[in-house]
Amino acid sequence: MATPPPPPKLQCGRSLLDLPDELIPEILLRLPPHDPRRLVRCSAVCKPWRRLLTDPAFLRRYRAFHGVPPMLGLIFYLELPRSRFLARFVRTTSFRPRTLDHAGCYVRDARHGRVLFSNATSEENEDELFVWSPVTGERWGLDMPSPFDCWSVAVLCAAAAREGGCDCDHLDCHGGPFLVTFVDTDDDGRTYARVYSSETGAWSDATYAQHPNNLAMDMKDPSALVGNRIYFPAAGSKTIVEYDLGRRKLAFVDPPLAHQGHGILMPAMGGGLGFASVRGSRLYLWSRETGSARTAAAWTPSRVLELNTLPNRRTRVPLNQPTALGFTEILMEEYVTVVGFAEGLGVIFVRTSAGVFAINLESGQVKKMSSRRPGVVIPYMSFYTPDHATGLPPVP
């Protein structure tokens, strides 16, 4: 690790190290989590700072202070020459995992500090499915529970199966027990779900439900977790499969009636299930609240955004930099589609002819994230703190 710069000087000529002890934690607490390099560098300034920045009590306070984990990178599928392909981790911060590429793999999901892959060619791993923690580099392999081709799968912290997940805030649970939820349709047209537990190392018995039409799961589209229910798109976004993790029960939900074409599921910003799709030059957002005993749950339009101002391929936009383009200036050249979302950040990813852009739904800021045009973008969100960093000498 490079030698850290000398600590900054105050105007009075005294070092930050000379500040009262009670002020140091308050200053370090406010270091931005989306630039983890700062925390790691500060931990190398001196032994007292390293003790503080690796202390579990301080780190719990740090994560609680900042709330939602930062987005450290994006993962998507890339096609290579000679019929090769891989899943690539694209850095959007100073965080760099030990492995950037997973050859012969598709990224399926990411949640609570873990990433889930399916392995198509066994180039790097014999397991058909495996879970990876980019922060620690750990891997957990599991077998595929079905021989069928059209299935959907999701990974989540085991505590999320309980209503509200009240015993875990999901701010630092990437090393704890996890679940993998698998949904598929069998030869008889029945939709079923099975759940893998890392604690038992086994899949649960299948839970079945019958849909009037034979469903084909949208295996590449992201799932959405709302409370302890996980939602999967099916039949080209024409049906939504709901799986209640607590009651182990399947149900089916219709998408918004006004929806046309491809859409993605997401947690709504105000709570409940959300849905997003593009029609023409507009991004439509809906939310669905759980109904009462007398009324059924219904979709409500929540927002419409004009997208005819996103940059086209002739417009040079720097990567990962907020632009002042807003939604008013540059005409879009071709079809735009929604390809992902970041839970808790209010960010939706759209693909245009110029690449992938992140739209912050609160501020309206637009960032270009990649010049490539993948079908699905899976953001990786987690805190990366000095207790996870490598290359630091131990504190005596």
- DSSP, collapsed to helix, strand or coil, labels residue 277 as strand
Both 78 and 162 in one domain: the answer is yes
Both 42 and 142 in one domain: the answer is no
Under the banding of pLDDT at 50, 70 and 90, the label for residue 83 is: low
pLDDT at 382: 93
pLDDT at 320: 52
Residues 229 and 242: beta-carbon distance below 8 Å: yes
Both 46 and 150 in one domain: the answer is no
What DSSP string runs through 3-51?
PPPPPPBPTTS-BGGGS-TTHHHHHHHTS-TT-HHHHHHHHTT-HHHHH
Distance CA 386, CA 390 (A): 8
Q: Is residue 14 part of a domain?
A: no
**pLDDT tens digit string along 246-271?**
899 999 998 888 777 778 899 988 78
pLDDT at 7: 55
Q: Is the pLDDT reported for residue 162 higher than 90?
A: no
Q: By residue range, what is the domain housing residue 40?
A: 25-59
Lowest mean pLDDT among 72-86, 106-120, 240-254, 295-309: 295-309
Which of 33, 59, 85 terminates a domain? The answer is 59
Q: Is the pLDDT reported for residue 393 higher than 60?
A: no
% pLDDT > 70, the chain: 81
Q: Is residue 390 part of a domain?
A: no
| Largest separation between any pair of C-alpha atoms in the chain | 78
Distance CA 260, CA 240 (A): 14
φ/ψ of residue 28, rounded to 5: -65, -30
Residues 357 and 367: beta-carbon distance below 8 Å: yes
HSE, CB side, 13 Å, CA atoms: give it for residue 371.
Answer: 7
- What's the number of domains the chain is made of? 2
pLDDT at 4: 59
- Of residues 258 and 109, the one with the higher pLDDT is 109
What DSSP string runs through 290-359?
PP-SSS--EEEEEEEEE-TTS--TTS---BT-EES-TTTS----S--EEEEEETTTTEEEEEETTEEEEE
Q: Is the pLDDT reported for residue 391 higher than 60?
A: no
Q: Is the pLDDT reported for residue 312 higher than 60?
A: no
Q: Is the pLDDT reported for residue 152 higher than 80?
A: yes
Q: Is the pLDDT reported for residue 338 higher than 70?
A: yes
Instruction: Identify the helix (H) or strand (E) that includes residue 102.
Output: strand 101-103
Both 174 and 33 in one domain: the answer is no
Q: Is the pLDDT reported for residue 386 higher than 80?
A: yes
CATH of the domain at 113: 2.120.10
The listed range with the strongest mean pLDDT (102-106, 186-190, 322-326) is: 102-106
Q: Is residue 367 part of a domain?
A: yes
Both 107 and 247 in one domain: the answer is yes
**Average pLDDT estimate for 339-364:** 87
Q: Is residue 11 part of a domain?
A: no
Lowest mean pLDDT among 24-33, 251-260, 313-322: 313-322
Under the banding of pLDDT at 50, 70 and 90, the label for residue 328 is: very low
For the CA atoms of 93, 99, 101, 103, the dihedral, rounded to the nearest 10 degrees, stands at -160
Both 40 and 110 in one domain: the answer is no
Q: Is residue 125 part of a domain?
A: yes
Under the banding of pLDDT at 50, 70 and 90, the label for residue 396 is: very low
**pLDDT tens digit string along 295-311?**
567 888 888 888 766 65
Both 181 and 298 in one domain: the answer is yes
Q: Is the pLDDT reported for residue 325 higher than 50?
A: no
% pLDDT > 90, the chain: 30
3-class secondary structure per residue, 116-150: EEEECCCCCCCCCEEEECCCCCCEEEECCCCCCCC
Q: Is residue 89 part of a domain?
A: yes
Both 178 and 278 in one domain: the answer is yes
How far is residue 29 from each of residues 61, 190, 304, measured CA to CA in Å?
A: 8, 51, 37
Which of 37, 59, 81 terminates a domain? The answer is 59
Q: Is residue 241 part of a domain?
A: yes
Both 149 and 249 in one domain: the answer is yes
Under the banding of pLDDT at 50, 70 and 90, the label for residue 379 is: very high
Q: Is residue 71 part of a domain?
A: yes
- DSSP strand E in 105-262: where? 105-111, 114-119, 129-132, 139-142, 151-157, 178-185, 190-197, 202-203, 207-210, 224-226, 229-234, 239-244, 249-253
Q: Is the pLDDT reported for residue 16 higher than 70?
A: no
- DSSP strand E in 249-297: where? 249-253, 263-267, 273-279, 282-289
Residues 244 and 232: beta-carbon distance below 8 Å: no
Both 148 and 286 in one domain: the answer is yes
Average pLDDT, the chain: 81
pLDDT at 5: 57
Both 78 and 189 in one domain: the answer is yes
Residue 276 CB neighbour total at 10 angstroms: 23
**pLDDT tens digit string along 31-46?**
999 988 888 888 888 8
Both 95 and 189 in one domain: the answer is yes
Q: Is the pLDDT reported for residue 78 higher than 90?
A: no
